[in-house]
Structure 1
Amino acid sequence: MKSLVLAATCSLIAFSGLADAAIPAEPRGGETIQFNVYRGNSEFGTHEVRFQRDGEELVAEVSVRLRAGFGPVTVFRYEHDSVERWRDGQLVALEGETLKDGNRFPVQAARNGSGIVSEGVLPEGERHTEELPRDIIPSSHWRGYEEDLGRILNTEHGDAMPVTITDMGMEEIEADGGTIQARRIRLEATLTVDLWYDENGFWAGCEFEARGQSIRYVRQANPAA
């Protein structure tokens, strides 16, 4: 089930390979990253990340709504809502809930001393608590991933997810009503996800294969505009 959160929840870091881009350390607040999500050529739902400022903290609100069906009959439904709080480029707290296959999975994580203490519910229904490194990055994708990362925080179940990150270079993708140049990052775990980040460091695209289906994210507008 770790693959599902990685897919469905398809962070701004100055990638060393983006030497020609002026990448901000993090969003200023007030920006929104909004994707239309497609399964094959059919509309599948939406994925939004909204940024606000609360004093010294950056607040990122994530909302995912995915649905597949035949007319009014729903055969697949996925909803994810979470709120991340960041200070000085590090995660301070995260609270969220995922609705998947009729089951709800709450997650809470907060900084505690030298690390992040995360509480969640595993796919089998077992509650767990896990202490993670202070600099752990959540699997919400908007902040990006450095190549030396070995694991990230699973925002669906609250556990550590082993990953391999590969920088695939620059290429042209569909976004913002046209095409843009973006850097492609491949994230490999139980599922392989390709992610794209524009010249300003904002998350710009996402593609993966899940359950024999091709899923594609198309960004609707440039958040920096």
Structure 2
Amino acid sequence: MKRRLILALMLMGCGSAAAQATADFPYGPSHVFAAFRNGERIGTHTLTFQQNGDKRTVTTSIDFAVKALGLTMYRYMHRGQEVWNGNTFESIATQTDDNGTKFGIKARNDATGLAVVREGSGAPKMTASDVGFQQGTPNQATLPSSTLPSTHWNLNQVKQSAMLNSQNGALAKVQITPRGRETIKTANGTLEATRYTYTGDVQMDQWFDDRGRWVKSAFKASDGSTIEYILQE
């Protein structure tokens, strides 16, 4: 009888923790950014969040197109889906087309760590710690189970020293430094947020508001242009 009571209390505690994680979640059903290149809009980055009991599915859709004289000079498409159990990252699957260079990754947390399988169409090394792709050959690796994906929205990533690159599956080593409070612009006004600077294999600035929501990004593209995300609220 005592043993059954202890087990029941443990299960109740787990349920309460999961319920608290759900209650504290700062996002609504969707979260949308407009992306600008040197001040000109080039596309959107959309997140959707679906809760099913303790499970949360996060879907990412990114579509960029850079045009000149009416012609599309560069196109980027990314689709991803993450699964979380409360605050525990369980899996991710993504597909990316970076102007004709294609990537695909799948990663799942299991008893041995975060098991990653990635594929690419002749993609080069992406980071200093990356072994690179062999064209047409799946590449597998096991990363620490605490590794989070670089999908921007999760405030816990600012505590990390390495993340799973959600585009190409490489382990991205980062240093993340808080830069203080700033007032940022959104499509419908302004809000207060904390700025974080990412250096290392990921180089960008991100802003999170007091609720823990990702509310802005800025970074340099490979051609030197400035990409800025503006929250559409």
TM-score, length of structure 1 as denominator length: 0.82
- Structure 2 unaligned spans of 5+: 1-22, 125-132
Matched residue, 1:216: 228
Residue 197 of structure 1 corresponds to 208
Corresponding residue for residue 153 of structure 1: 164
Residue 172 of structure 2 contacts residue 202 of structure 2 at CA under 8 Å; is this kept in 1? no
Q: Deviations over 1:63-93 (max 9, x none)?
A: 1111101254211101100000011312101
The equivalent of 1:175 in structure 2 is 186
Counterpart residue identity of residue 55, structure 1: G
Decide whether the 8 Å contact of 1:51 with 1:59 is kept in 2: yes
Counterpart Cα distance in 2 of 1:90 and 1:71: 47
The 8 Å contact of residues 148 and 157 in structure 2, kept in 1 or not, is answered as no
SS at structure 1 position matched to 2:148:
coil
SS where residue 163 of structure 1 aligns? Answer: strand
| C-alpha separation in 2, matches of 1:192 and 1:145 | 17
Structure 1 gaps, min length 5: 1-23
Point out the structure with max Rg over C-alpha: 2
Identity of aligned residues (%): 26
Q: Distance in 1 between matches of 2:79 and 2:171?
A: 19
The one-letter code sitting in structure 1 at the alignment partner of 2:208 is: Y
Candidates 108, 115, 118, aligned match of 1:117: 115
1:16 corresponds to which residue?
A: none
CA contact (8 A) 1:110 1:117 kept: yes
Q: Distance in 2 between matches of 1:26 and 1:118?
A: 27
Q: 2:177 aligns with which of 166, 173, 184?
A: 166
CA distance in structure 2 between the aligned counterparts of 1:42 and 1:103, rounded to whole angstroms: 24
Whether contact under 8 Å (1:145, 1:165) holds in the other structure is no
Structure-2 residue corresponding to 1:20: none
The structure where helix makes up a greater share of residues is: 2
For the aligned residue pairs, the C-alpha RMSD in angstroms reads 1.9
With structure 2 as the length reference, what TM-score do the two structures score?
A: 0.79
Counterpart AA for 2:182: E
More divergent stretch after superposition (115-124 vs 33-42): 115-124
Number of residues of Structure 1 aligned to a counterpart in Structure 2 = 198
Please say if residues 183 and 191 of structure 2, whose CA atoms lie closer than 8 Å, have aligned partners that are also in contact. Answer: yes
